[in-house]
Amino acid sequence: MGSMLLDGLGRSWHYDGSDFVATLMVQQADEGGDFDFAPFIRTRCGGGGGDAENFARVRELFDGAYAGRRTTRAEAGTVQLFNGCRSLHRVRTAFGPTARITAVLSYDSNPPCAQQLPSLEANVRNYGERVRDSAVWLRAQEERRRLCAGVESPPPFETEG
Protein backbone atom coordinates (compact mmCIF):
# COMPACT_ATOMS: atom_id res chain seq x y z
CA MET A 1 0.00 0.00 0.00
CA GLY A 2 1.12 3.54 -0.48
CA SER A 3 0.31 6.70 1.43
CA MET A 4 0.47 10.22 0.04
CA LEU A 5 -0.20 13.23 2.24
CA LEU A 6 -0.64 16.54 0.50
CA ASP A 7 -0.33 19.99 2.07
CA GLY A 8 -2.49 20.22 5.19
CA LEU A 9 -3.15 16.47 5.54
CA GLY A 10 -2.12 14.02 8.26
CA ARG A 11 -3.27 10.75 9.80
CA SER A 12 -4.99 10.68 13.18
CA TRP A 13 -4.04 8.37 16.04
CA HIS A 14 -4.84 4.74 15.20
CA TYR A 15 -3.82 1.10 15.56
CA ASP A 16 -3.19 -1.16 12.57
CA GLY A 17 -4.98 -4.45 12.07
CA SER A 18 -1.79 -6.39 11.27
CA ASP A 19 1.02 -7.69 13.47
CA PHE A 20 3.69 -5.37 12.21
CA VAL A 21 4.39 -2.80 9.53
CA ALA A 22 7.46 -1.67 7.61
CA THR A 23 7.28 1.79 6.09
CA LEU A 24 9.66 3.16 3.49
CA MET A 25 9.81 6.95 3.23
CA VAL A 26 9.85 7.69 -0.48
CA GLN A 27 9.56 11.47 -0.16
CA GLN A 28 9.22 13.66 2.92
CA ALA A 29 7.03 16.78 3.00
CA ASP A 30 8.69 20.20 3.10
CA GLU A 31 7.56 20.63 6.71
CA GLY A 32 5.66 18.51 9.22
CA GLY A 33 4.82 14.89 8.46
CA ASP A 34 6.51 13.66 11.64
CA PHE A 35 5.61 10.16 12.84
CA ASP A 36 4.41 9.93 16.47
CA PHE A 37 3.97 6.58 18.15
CA ALA A 38 3.52 5.02 21.58
CA PRO A 39 5.36 1.68 21.42
CA PHE A 40 3.43 -1.22 22.94
CA ILE A 41 0.90 1.00 24.72
CA ARG A 42 -1.60 -1.80 24.10
CA THR A 43 -0.74 -5.16 25.69
CA ARG A 44 -2.06 -7.36 22.86
CA CYS A 45 -3.22 -7.07 19.28
CA GLY A 46 -6.90 -6.83 18.53
CA GLY A 47 -7.70 -4.84 21.61
CA GLY A 48 -9.98 -6.94 23.70
CA GLY A 49 -10.96 -4.10 25.99
CA GLY A 50 -10.18 -3.73 29.64
CA ASP A 51 -6.57 -3.70 30.77
CA ALA A 52 -5.28 -4.62 27.29
CA GLU A 53 -6.21 -1.15 26.04
CA ASN A 54 -4.41 0.78 28.82
CA PHE A 55 -6.93 3.60 28.63
CA ALA A 56 -5.18 5.58 31.38
CA ARG A 57 -1.96 5.68 29.35
CA VAL A 58 -3.85 6.52 26.16
CA ARG A 59 -5.45 9.46 28.00
CA GLU A 60 -1.96 10.57 29.08
CA LEU A 61 -0.82 10.32 25.45
CA PHE A 62 -3.71 12.45 24.21
CA ASP A 63 -3.09 14.96 27.01
CA GLY A 64 0.60 15.24 26.06
CA ALA A 65 1.81 13.73 29.34
CA TYR A 66 2.80 10.20 28.23
CA ALA A 67 6.57 9.80 28.64
CA GLY A 68 6.72 6.80 26.26
CA ARG A 69 5.75 8.75 23.12
CA ARG A 70 8.36 8.77 20.36
CA THR A 71 8.55 11.16 17.40
CA THR A 72 10.62 10.65 14.27
CA ARG A 73 11.10 12.65 11.11
CA ALA A 74 12.17 10.16 8.49
CA GLU A 75 14.00 11.30 5.39
CA ALA A 76 13.68 9.66 1.96
CA GLY A 77 15.08 6.13 2.04
CA THR A 78 14.36 5.54 5.74
CA VAL A 79 12.74 2.22 6.68
CA GLN A 80 10.83 2.01 9.97
CA LEU A 81 9.53 -1.22 11.54
CA PHE A 82 6.93 -1.17 14.27
CA ASN A 83 4.16 -3.19 15.86
CA GLY A 84 1.16 -1.23 14.59
CA CYS A 85 -1.51 -3.31 16.30
CA ARG A 86 -0.04 -2.63 19.76
CA SER A 87 1.52 0.80 19.16
CA LEU A 88 -0.87 3.72 18.82
CA HIS A 89 0.51 5.99 16.08
CA ARG A 90 -0.19 8.94 13.80
CA VAL A 91 1.42 11.14 11.15
CA ARG A 92 1.39 14.83 11.96
CA THR A 93 0.11 17.28 9.38
CA ALA A 94 2.35 17.70 6.33
CA PHE A 95 2.92 21.20 4.93
CA GLY A 96 4.24 22.57 1.64
CA PRO A 97 4.00 21.75 -2.06
CA THR A 98 6.02 18.51 -1.71
CA ALA A 99 3.79 15.54 -0.83
CA ARG A 100 4.82 13.09 1.90
CA ILE A 101 4.90 9.66 0.21
CA THR A 102 5.47 6.33 1.96
CA ALA A 103 5.29 2.70 0.95
CA VAL A 104 3.56 0.66 3.67
CA LEU A 105 4.18 -3.08 3.92
CA SER A 106 2.08 -5.01 6.45
CA TYR A 107 2.58 -8.50 7.86
CA ASP A 108 -0.07 -10.54 9.63
CA SER A 109 0.74 -13.91 11.22
CA ASN A 110 -2.80 -15.17 10.59
CA PRO A 111 -3.49 -16.92 7.28
CA PRO A 112 -5.38 -14.67 4.83
CA CYS A 113 -8.82 -16.16 5.46
CA ALA A 114 -8.40 -15.78 9.24
CA GLN A 115 -7.41 -12.12 9.10
CA GLN A 116 -9.93 -9.62 10.35
CA LEU A 117 -10.12 -6.82 7.81
CA PRO A 118 -11.58 -3.32 8.18
CA SER A 119 -15.11 -2.77 6.98
CA LEU A 120 -15.89 -0.64 3.94
CA GLU A 121 -17.07 2.16 6.25
CA ALA A 122 -13.81 2.06 8.22
CA ASN A 123 -11.85 2.31 4.97
CA VAL A 124 -14.00 5.22 3.79
CA ARG A 125 -13.28 7.04 7.06
CA ASN A 126 -9.56 6.40 6.71
CA TYR A 127 -9.08 6.93 2.96
CA GLY A 128 -12.07 8.97 1.82
CA GLU A 129 -15.22 8.45 -0.23
CA ARG A 130 -13.19 7.41 -3.28
CA VAL A 131 -12.89 3.95 -1.69
CA ARG A 132 -16.65 3.37 -1.67
CA ASP A 133 -16.96 2.83 -5.42
CA SER A 134 -13.38 1.77 -6.08
CA ALA A 135 -13.13 -1.05 -8.60
CA VAL A 136 -9.93 -2.16 -6.85
CA TRP A 137 -11.73 -2.41 -3.47
CA LEU A 138 -14.62 -4.33 -5.01
CA ARG A 139 -12.29 -6.74 -6.86
CA ALA A 140 -10.26 -7.34 -3.69
CA GLN A 141 -13.40 -8.18 -1.71
CA GLU A 142 -14.64 -10.54 -4.45
CA GLU A 143 -11.22 -12.25 -4.61
CA ARG A 144 -11.23 -12.73 -0.83
CA ARG A 145 -14.72 -14.27 -1.01
CA ARG A 146 -13.55 -16.62 -3.78
CA LEU A 147 -10.33 -17.66 -2.00
CA CYS A 148 -12.01 -18.10 1.36
CA ALA A 149 -15.16 -19.88 0.14
CA GLY A 150 -16.06 -22.46 2.75
CA VAL A 151 -13.62 -21.02 5.29
CA GLU A 152 -15.12 -19.10 8.18
CA SER A 153 -13.57 -15.63 8.26
CA PRO A 154 -13.94 -13.13 11.09
CA PRO A 155 -16.35 -10.24 10.53
CA PRO A 156 -14.93 -6.87 9.42
CA PHE A 157 -13.84 -4.57 12.23
CA GLU A 158 -14.50 -0.90 12.72
CA THR A 159 -11.56 1.42 13.24
CA GLU A 160 -11.32 4.94 14.48
CA GLY A 161 -9.53 7.27 12.18
Burial of 60 (0-12, 13-18, 19+ CB in 10 A): middle
CB 137 within 8 A of CB 128: no
pLDDT at 48: 62
Q: What is the mean pLDDT of residues 126-155?
A: 76
pLDDT at 161 over 90: no
Which comes out higher in pLDDT, residue 93 or 52?
93
CATH value at residue 13: 2.60.120.620
95: helix, strand or coil: strand
pLDDT at 19 over 80: yes
**pTM of the entire predicted model:** 0.76
Range of 158's domain? Answer: 110-161
As for how many domains the chain has, the answer is 2
pLDDT at 149: 82
Q: Specify whether 115 is located in the same domain as 101.
A: no
Mean pLDDT (the chain) is: 85
- pLDDT over 90 for what percent of the chain? 47
Q: Specify whether 33 is located in the same domain as 7.
A: yes
Q: Specify whether 11 is located in the same domain as 39.
A: yes
Q: Specify whether 46 is located in the same domain as 66.
A: yes
pLDDT at 125 over 90: no
Taking only the tens place, the pLDDT of each residue in 93-106 is 999 999 999 999 98
Which comes out higher in pLDDT, residue 35 or 49?
35
Q: Which residue spans within the chain are E strands per DSSP?
A: 2-5, 11-14, 20-27, 31-32, 35-38, 70-72, 79-82, 88-91, 94-95, 100-107
Q: What is the mean pLDDT of residues 107-129?
A: 76
CB 40 within 8 A of CB 86: yes
83: helix, strand or coil: coil
Please give the Cα distance from 18 to 83 (Å, whole number): 8
